[in-house]
């Protein structure tokens, strides 16, 4: 934008002078006069006019809606309004105010007084003013780069105008000066005098008045100079604000960008990305993003999609952060600054009427289709595929889980683990306050737990006791009481015996649902295996207590400690130990992505010396159903796992069902799904779940074995007969009455099971999870005589003479 200063007296002269000066600068200006129509603007601008000067009279009679509509597609910076303000004129007051929201540049002719200008400037601080008044011409806009100084206006008189209504409240007459960056982030505080302001304007840089050194050219010696973008005054005109672009290494003498320490949030992200653009290591992810537009664009779309499906507050924040990261990477790569983005945000917020905000057709197609049908029905609808119609790549895609980017999760989890490792209980308190919004006084409850903390409804207690008995029976039966003894050859006896792992940590999830049943599933096998110390970790409730059901089970299994924490911090506390949390040897239990990632981190840190059970993540269920299955049963099972979390996945393999039969399933899904209290969660899980139609049980089992589900339900005729063909699954539920929920709570099998396809190589939690095996051997003289030569020969070919000797020396004695 151009601010033109001239000494012409009339409106016509002022405007034509403005046009001339703009033209001298190489731009094409055009005046729209009172009787021209506003519609002329668009063609004029299209025809290469850079700045349109609009006479206020041309638009004074129009309603603001009309003006807004006419100016809809014209960037505000290309318009300047010529105007003789008369604030007593009722149409000037409100219309002028509203217009200032649409048009950034004003040429004001013959204002009644300097105060009028100051008042306009205060009311519309973000507009550019070019002021023509008979005797004086005052430009109140201090957008330094836009001043065209073509006559005798001196910087000093300019400063006088700026300070016309201001008054320092300091004895030395200096103005406290807040120095901010273009985003308004405070860099520090300085002081200004009239002289330093004039110097700043002349040099277009940060110049202040130091109370010890006088005139102070910021960065003159350190190189941390500032480009001055603007100066303005606060509401009571006693403090100045300098908006600057700060050069490296920063404003503060301690070499940080601000005097208030390091940046955070979007500003920090922007500066990190800018630095990375210049010097990201060749193989880094950010470098790949900058170099590979397709990758960047796919990530932006992927994150936008994930943001749309996010439901929980924290997930929405997470996805929004991801989207902002990739969007900023695109901006940085294209040289778009934060200020450029903010300008657009600000101009939108100023508009009086808005575009309807409809999405482009490619983004609404789906929705329009949905609207043709009863809209609600689409809510719980599983995508349906026919295996015959799929390529092998498409089948491979269906085998993948809807998982988060693990790099990202590791980046979040590692600092949490490090913090607990370094600061112990203090870190747990801090992180629990941050993630669970609970301020803990103590991070643990120690046994014996008070009766009051485990007071239960008798029916609940009875149910827990029934479940306890069944789970205990099944897991006690797995205890290896006798060692395994085998005489491999005469006089050579090998044996193997189990010993409990001494100290175990059990993670009981408690994010979206508190799961006392998981306390049973982990605590009982640990107890029957004979573990000496059991530590149970679970996120605290909002009031800082532990669910009484969990305390009751903890008491029954003989836990020594309950850690009132969840997520990665709980895992880290048990892995490394803290002042109050005992260090354990093995950590077991399911949890969300943070829990799973923290288990992986701890396991791979040799200083923690801890192992884990398996990666047990978001729940999964695959149901194989044929025509004999009752859709109500099948759907209820699918929803039981979908309601766990938005990242759960459920799959129905339908054997030879017709379209009509599938439709019955879809209707049932809608009916049961929408009635659930956790419908919002289940709906998201269903959105990335699917039905796969196959022809035969063989095809169904083939897919299921490849998918390797956590839970598999066989709701088919003669279900038991296919058990031998199942090679991968965490736990199998056979026949129409074996609801998966029974295994979750009370039948006796364990519900802590491998997910993500890990049932290909991991077992679910069982008694053996809590023991390790030791082997032993007894070799008699006769035995050594029998195997000795084989050992010495093998040691010799490996070149390990000491090994050979250990046997040879004995053999020599035996064979003397």
Ligand X SMILES: NC(=O)c1ccc[n+]([C@@H]2O[C@H](COP(=O)([O-])OP(=O)(O)OC[C@H]3O[C@@H](n4cnc5c(N)ncnc54)[C@H](O)[C@@H]3O)[C@@H](O)[C@H]2O)c1
Ligand Y SMILES: N[C@H](CO)Cc1c[nH]c[nH+]1
Which residues form the catalytic set? 710-711
Q: Is 68 in the site for Zn ion (CB under 5 A)?
A: no
Among residues 435, 468, 552, 576, which is the contact residue for ligand X, using CB under 6 A?
435
Segment lying near ligand X (by CB under 6 A), choices 118-126, 333-341, 611-619, 656-664: 611-619
Cα dihedral sign for 635, 640, 646, 652?
A: negative
Mask: binding to ligand X, 389-418, rule CB under 6 A, as x and -?
Answer: -----------------------x------
Segment lying near ligand X (by CB under 6 A), choices 293-301, 417-425, 463-471, 506-514: 506-514
Q: How many residues does the chain have?
A: 816
Contact residues toward ligand Y (CB under 6 A) are 515, 517-518, 619, 641, 710, 744, 751
How many Cα atoms within 13 Å fall on the side-chain side of residue 275?
7
**509 interacts with, out of ligand X, Zn ion, ligand Y, none, CB within 5 to 8 A per kind:** ligand X
Question: By C-alpha distance, which of 77, 56, 78 is closest to 67?
Answer: 56
Nearer CB in complex with ligand X: 243/419? 419
Question: By C-alpha distance, which of 83, 130, 133, 141 is closest to 113?
Answer: 133
**183 interacts with, out of ligand Y, ligand X, Zn ion, none, CB within 5 to 8 A per kind:** none
CB 590 within 8 A of CB 509: yes
Question: By C-alpha distance, which of 769, 758, 771 is closest to 481?
Answer: 771
Q: Is 743 in the site for ligand X (CB under 6 A)?
A: no
Q: What are phi and psi of 807, to 5 degrees?
A: -95, -45
Nearer CB in complex with ligand X: 205/619? 619
CA dihedral 421, 422, 426, 430 (to 10 degrees): -80
Contacting ligand X within 553-592 (CB under 6 A): 566-568, 590-592
Number of helices and strands in the chain (H, E) = 29, 28
C-alpha 591, offset from chain centre: 18
310-319: Cβ within 8 A, 24+ apart: 310/646, 310/684, 311/646, 311/680, 311/681, 311/684, 312/512, 312/646, 312/681, 315/646
Question: By C-alpha distance, which of 777, 640, 787, 656 is closest to 716?
Answer: 656
From residue 454, alpha-carbon distances to 218, 461, 547 in Å are 66, 10, 8
Give every CB contact of residue 149 below 8 A, 6+ residues apart in sequence: 5
Contacting ligand X within 615-634 (CB under 6 A): 616, 618-619
Among residues 505, 645, 783, 788, which is the contact residue for ligand X, using CB under 6 A?
645
Segment lying near ligand X (by CB under 6 A), choices 166-174, 346-354, 393-401, 644-652: 644-652
Q: Rounded to whole angstroms, how far apart are CA atoms 440 and 426?
A: 10
**517 interacts with, out of ligand X, ligand Y, Zn ion, none, CB within 5 to 8 A per kind:** ligand Y
**637 interacts with, out of ligand X, ligand Y, Zn ion, none, CB within 5 to 8 A per kind:** none
Helix axes 458-476, 516-529, angle to 10 degrees: 40
Segment lying near Zn ion (by CB under 5 A), choices 122-130, 145-153, 225-233, 736-744: 736-744
State the minimum distance, in angstroms, from the CB of residue 752 to ligand Y: 7
Segment lying near ligand X (by CB under 6 A), choices 265-273, 341-349, 512-520, 575-583: 512-520
Mask: binding to Zn ion, 418-437, rule CB under 5 A, as x and -?
Answer: --------------------
Helix axes 406-423, 425-436, angle to 10 degrees: 140
3-state SS of 341-377 is HHHHHHHHHHCCCCCCCCCCHHHHHHHHHHHHCCHHH
CA dihedral 514, 515, 516, 518 (to 10 degrees): -150
Nearer CB in complex with ligand X: 52/588? 588
**512 interacts with, out of Zn ion, ligand Y, ligand X, none, CB within 5 to 8 A per kind:** ligand X
Q: Is 511 in the site for ligand X (CB under 6 A)?
A: yes
Q: Rounded to whole angstroms, how far apart are CA atoms 514 and 51?
A: 64
Q: Is 666 in the site for ligand X (CB under 6 A)?
A: no
Nearer CB in complex with ligand Y: 381/644? 644
Q: Is 744 in the site for Zn ion (CB under 5 A)?
A: yes
Q: Is 752 in the site for ligand X (CB under 6 A)?
A: yes
Nearer CB in complex with ligand Y: 141/710? 710
State the minimum distance, in angstroms, from the CB of residue 161 to ligand X: 52
**592 interacts with, out of Zn ion, ligand X, ligand Y, none, CB within 5 to 8 A per kind:** ligand X
Helices (H), 260-400: 265-279, 285-291, 293-309, 313-333, 338-350, 361-372, 392-399
C-alpha 814, offset from chain centre: 71
Q: Is 751 in the site for ligand X (CB under 6 A)?
A: yes
State the minimum distance, in angstroms, from the CB of residue 751 to ligand Y: 4
**539 interacts with, out of ligand X, ligand Y, Zn ion, none, CB within 5 to 8 A per kind:** ligand X
State the minimum distance, in angstroms, from the CB of residue 385 to ligand Y: 24
Q: How many residues bind ligand X (CB under 6 A)?
A: 31
**412 interacts with, out of ligand X, ligand Y, Zn ion, none, CB within 5 to 8 A per kind:** ligand X
Nearer CB in complex with ligand X: 538/715? 538
Where does this chain bind ligand X (CB under 6 A)? 314, 412, 435-436, 509-513, 515, 518, 539, 566-568, 590-592, 594-595, 616, 618-619, 644-645, 648, 710, 751-753, 755
Where does this chain bind Zn ion (CB under 5 A)? 744
């Amino acid at each position: 934008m151009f601010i033109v200063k001239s000494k012409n007296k009339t409106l016509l002269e002022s405007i034509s002078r403005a046009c001339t000066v703009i033209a001298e600068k190489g731009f094409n200006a055009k005046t729209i006069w009172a009787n021209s129509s506003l519609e002329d603007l668009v063609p004029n601008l299209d025809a290469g006019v850079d700045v349109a000067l609009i006479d206020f009279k041309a638009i004074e009679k129009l309603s603001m809606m009309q003006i807004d509509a006419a100016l809809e597609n014209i960037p505000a910076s290309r318009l300047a309004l010529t105007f003789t303000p008369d604030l007593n004129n009722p149409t000037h007051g409100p219309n002028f105010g509203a217009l200032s929201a649409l048009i950034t540049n004003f040429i004001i002719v013959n204002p009644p007084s300097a105060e009028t200008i100051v008042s306009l400037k205060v009311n519309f601080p973000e507009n550019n003013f070019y002021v023509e008044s008979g005797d004086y011409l005052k430009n109140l806009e201090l957008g330094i780069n836009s001043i065209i100084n073509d006559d005798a206006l001196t910087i000093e008189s300019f400063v006088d105008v700026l300070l016309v209504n201001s008054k320092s409240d300091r004895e030395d007459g200096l103005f406290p000066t807040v120095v901010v960056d273009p985003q308004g982030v405070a860099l520090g505080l300085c002081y200004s005098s009239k002289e330093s302001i004039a110097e700043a304007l002349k040099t277009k840089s940060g110049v202040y008045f130091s109370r010890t050194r006088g005139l102070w050219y910021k960065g003159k010696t350190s190189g941390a100079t500032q480009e001055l973008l603007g100066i303005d005054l606060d509401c009571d005109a006693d403090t100045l604000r300098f908006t600057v672009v700060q050069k490296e290494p920063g404003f503060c003498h301690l070499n940080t960008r601000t005097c208030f320490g390091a940046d955070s949030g979007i500003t920090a992200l922007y500066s990190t990305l800018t630095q990375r653009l210049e010097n990201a290591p060749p193989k880094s992810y950010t470098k790949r993003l900058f170099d590979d537009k397709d990758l960047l664009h796919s990530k932006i779309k992927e994150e936008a999609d994930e943001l749309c499906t996010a439901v929980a507050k924290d997930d929405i924040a997470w996805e929004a952060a991801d989207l902002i990261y990739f969007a900023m990477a695109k901006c940085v790569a294209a040289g778009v600054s934060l200020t450029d983005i903010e300008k657009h945000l600000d101009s939108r917020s100023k508009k009086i009427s808005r575009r309807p905000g409809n999405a482009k057709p490619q983004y609404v197609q789906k929705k329009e289709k949905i609207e043709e049908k009863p809209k609600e029905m689409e809510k719980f609808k599983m995508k349906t595929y026919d295996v015959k119609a799929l390529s092998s790549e498409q089948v491979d895609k269906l085998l993948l889980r809807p998982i988060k980017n693990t790099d990202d999760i590791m980046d979040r989890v590692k600092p949490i683990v490090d913090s607990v490792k370094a600061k112990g209980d203090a870190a747990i308190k801090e992180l629990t306050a941050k993630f669970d919004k609970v301020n803990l006084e103590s991070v643990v409850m120690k046994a014996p737990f008070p009766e009051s903390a485990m007071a239960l409804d008798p029916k609940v207690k009875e149910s827990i006791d029934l479940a306890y008995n069944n789970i205990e029976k099944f897991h006690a039966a797995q205890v290896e009481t006798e060692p395994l003894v085998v005489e491999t050859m005469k006089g050579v006896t090998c044996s193997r015996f189990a010993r409990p792992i001494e100290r175990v940590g059990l993670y009981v999830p408690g994010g979206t649902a508190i799961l006392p049943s998981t306390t049973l599933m982990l605590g009982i096998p640990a107890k029957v295996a004979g573990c000496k110390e059991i530590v149970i970790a679970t996120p605290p409730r909002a009031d800082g207590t532990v669910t009484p059901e969990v305390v009751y089970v903890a008491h029954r299994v003989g836990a020594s400690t309950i850690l009132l924490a969840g997520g990665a911090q709980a895992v880290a506390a048990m892995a490394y130990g803290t002042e109050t949390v005992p260090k354990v040897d093995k950590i077991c239990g399911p949890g969300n992505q943070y829990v799973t990632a923290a288990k992986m981190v701890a396991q791979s840190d040799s200083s923690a010396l801890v192992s884990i059970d398996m990666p047990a993540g978001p729940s999964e269920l695959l149901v194989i159903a044929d025509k004999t299955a009752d859709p109500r049963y099948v759907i209820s099972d699918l929803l039981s796992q979908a309601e766990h979390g938005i990242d759960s996945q459920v799959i129905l393999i339908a054997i030879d069902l017709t379209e009509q039969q599938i439709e019955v399933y879809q209707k049932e899904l809608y009916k049961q799904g929408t009635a659930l209290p956790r419908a919002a969660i289940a709906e998201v899980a269903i959105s990335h779940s699917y039905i796969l139609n196959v022809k035969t049980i063989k095809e169904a089992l083939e897919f299921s074995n490849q998918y390797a589900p956590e839970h598999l339900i066989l709701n088919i005729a003669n279900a038991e007969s296919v058990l031998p063909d199942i090679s991968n699954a965490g736990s199998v539920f056979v026949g129409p009455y074996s609801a998966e929920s029974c295994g979750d709570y009370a039948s006796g099998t364990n519900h802590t099971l491998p997910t993500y396809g890990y049932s290909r190589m991991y077992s679910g939690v069982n008694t053996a999870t809590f023991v390790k095996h030791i082997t032993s051997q007894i070799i008699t003289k006769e035995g050594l005589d029998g195997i000795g030569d084989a050992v010495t020969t093998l040691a010799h070919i490996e070149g390990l003479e000491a090994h050979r000797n250990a046997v040879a020396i004995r053999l020599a004695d035996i064979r003397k």
